Amino acid sequence: MIIWVVAAYFALLLLIGFVFRNSKSIHDYILAERKLSLPILVASIVTAFYGATAILGGAELSYFFGLGALWFMIPFYIGNILVLSYSEKITASKAETLPDFLGQFYGSRVVVASTLLLTFLCLVPESIIAAGKLMHYLYPLSVELWMTLVALVVITYTLLGGLRAIAYSDVLQFMLMVAALAVVVPYAIAYSPDFIAKTPGENLSPIPYLRMFPQDAIRWTILLVFMPITAAPLYQRFFASMPSVNKKKAILYSVAIYFAIDMIVLCAGMIAAANSEALGITEANADIALLILGFNILSKPLRILLALGLLAAIMSTADSWTHSGASSLSYDLLQRMGNFSEKTLILASRFFVFALGLLSLILALYFQDIITALVFLLTVWTSGILLPTLAALSGRRLSERAALASIFVGGTSSILWGLYPLYAIDPLFVGLFLAFAASALAQASGN
């Protein structure tokens, strides 16, 4: 029965994309006519960030680290709080994308460079991998086939309806995700009320970094703190919301929801670890520990709800980031290359959705691991874009040459170092160091 429910869910998403297929302009396609209300904005922000990595990955971290998983959550909260101080500056810019926002400070060449780099951030192999593993657990087709099917569904409704389809589907997927997670904890605690007593002492320590390599701890802190500040989908949602919507309130509501979700995920992961033998959870399948736990303790209708909720979380993240990258490629890159019609720009955006989705699928089939794929893409993006974004937000004077140097050197050096490391230094540190160095040299040579 569950496969038919999933099929109906896929069909509903495709229907939403079809209903909103007639965008009037490129601005309508990428910003939904700037009509997102506060509830829709909050739902869309939460679902853009909380997908495969935060929910399935969070449960996996809780499985291995217990309370220590908090330290993979707190940096992200800090990053969101930092966004609060810059929210008015972001919305006052009247930009339409993150590269467009940066272009107001540095010029058109930085818009083009940041757009090209943005394609790395907006690839979503980790979401496709997670969806493939989840669906394989539910129905015995190959993981690769499920990856392909899920990718095609995401590509199709995103390609058709643009941000309006994404925003309205986000509301549905937000409700599914919250409802699914809400039913897990009471059943899980009833199943194992003594899970704290069963948890090893080291997993009751909230400081996992003592059990991690220092490089890993610092890398995760940097990536998670600065993820919201450099997240193109967050900027896009700010620009797409009604002028009357309070963006600070939207962030605060979102952080409160993040915390509630994280506490559920943390509890579920620890219960899964405390009862791993009885549940059949091992290190090999710990990335779907939350799903396995739910299917062992919930009734059949609630299992279906859990499966749909987790799938909704994954797909709502994939569509948001894919659309954001495609929008920027069309609006920020193609539009600057010639006097194209609105129809041509919309068609180009749809093509870019297809291209980014297809490339994400190829990377998913290559990596086959959620965390590896995520770290690679975040490292490349953060290495190149962090300095120009922080400078723009804080009002620091950074020349166009310096911003371009940071984007190009930071991004390319992190890729090359990841492929051909000369020493045991994380690519993020190499990329950030060289980005800062190249930017400083470019800034000095321009004075």
In angstroms, the Cα distances linking 338 to 112, 345, 445 are 14, 11, 32
Highest mean pLDDT among 126-140, 163-177, 213-227, 357-371: 163-177
Q: Is the pLDDT at 33 greater than 80, yes or no?
A: yes
For residue 375, tell me if it sits in a domain: no
In a domain, 15, yes or no: yes
Structure letter (DSSP) for residue 212: S
pLDDT higher than threshold 80 for residue 232? yes
pLDDT band at 157 (very low <50, low <70, confident <90, very high): very high
Look at residue 406 and tell me if it is in a domain: no
Is residue 381 in a domain? no
Instruction: Specify the pLDDT at position 261.
Output: 94
C-alpha neighbours within 13 Å on the C-beta side of residue 147: 25
Q: How many domains does the chain have?
A: 1
Torsion sign, CA atoms 347, 350, 354, 357 = positive
Instruction: Determine the structural domain holding residue 6 and report its residue range.
Output: 2-370
Please provide residue 241's backbone torsions phi and psi, each rounded to the nearest 5 degrees.
Answer: -85, 160
| DSSP summary character for residue 73 | T
pLDDT at 81: 92
pTM of the model: 0.91
Is the pLDDT confidence value at 203 over 90?
Answer: no
The answer to whether residue 342 sits within a structural domain is: yes
**CA dist 186 → 136, 299, 305 (Å):** 26, 13, 15
- Note the pLDDT tens digit of each residue in 238-247: 999 998 999 9
Q: What is the pLDDT of residue 121?
A: 82
What is the phi/psi pair of residue 36, to 5°?
-75, 125
Lookup: tokens for 2: 């569950």
Cα three-residue angle 319-413-386, rounded to 5 degrees: 55
Closest CA to 168 of 41, 54, 50, 55: 41
Q: Are 405 and 373 in contact (CB under 8 A)?
A: no
Whole-angstrom Cα distance, residue 228 to residue 121?
Answer: 12
Confidence grade of residue 264 (pLDDT, cut at 50, 70, 90): very high
Instruction: Please give the pLDDT value at position 268.
Output: 93
pLDDT in tens, 44-54: 999 999 987 88
42 within a domain of the structure (yes/no) = yes
Q: What is the mean pLDDT of residues 370-375?
A: 72
Is residue 403 included in any domain, yes or no?
no
The mean pLDDT value of the chain amounts to: 90
Q: What CATH number did the domain enclosing 255 receive?
A: 1.20.1730.10
* CA 393, 398, 399, 400 torsion-angle sign: negative
pLDDT in tens, 402-421: 999 999 999 999 999 988 88
User: Looking at residues 117-131, what average pLDDT do you find?
Assistant: 87
| pLDDT confidence tier of residue 270, bands split at 50, 70 and 90 | very high
Look at residue 173 in the predicted model and tell me its pLDDT: 94
Q: Is the residue at 84 inside a domain? A: yes
Q: What percent of the chain has pLDDT over 90?
A: 63
- Per the model's pLDDT, the better-predicted residue between 203 and 39 turns out to be 39
pLDDT above 60: residue 209: no
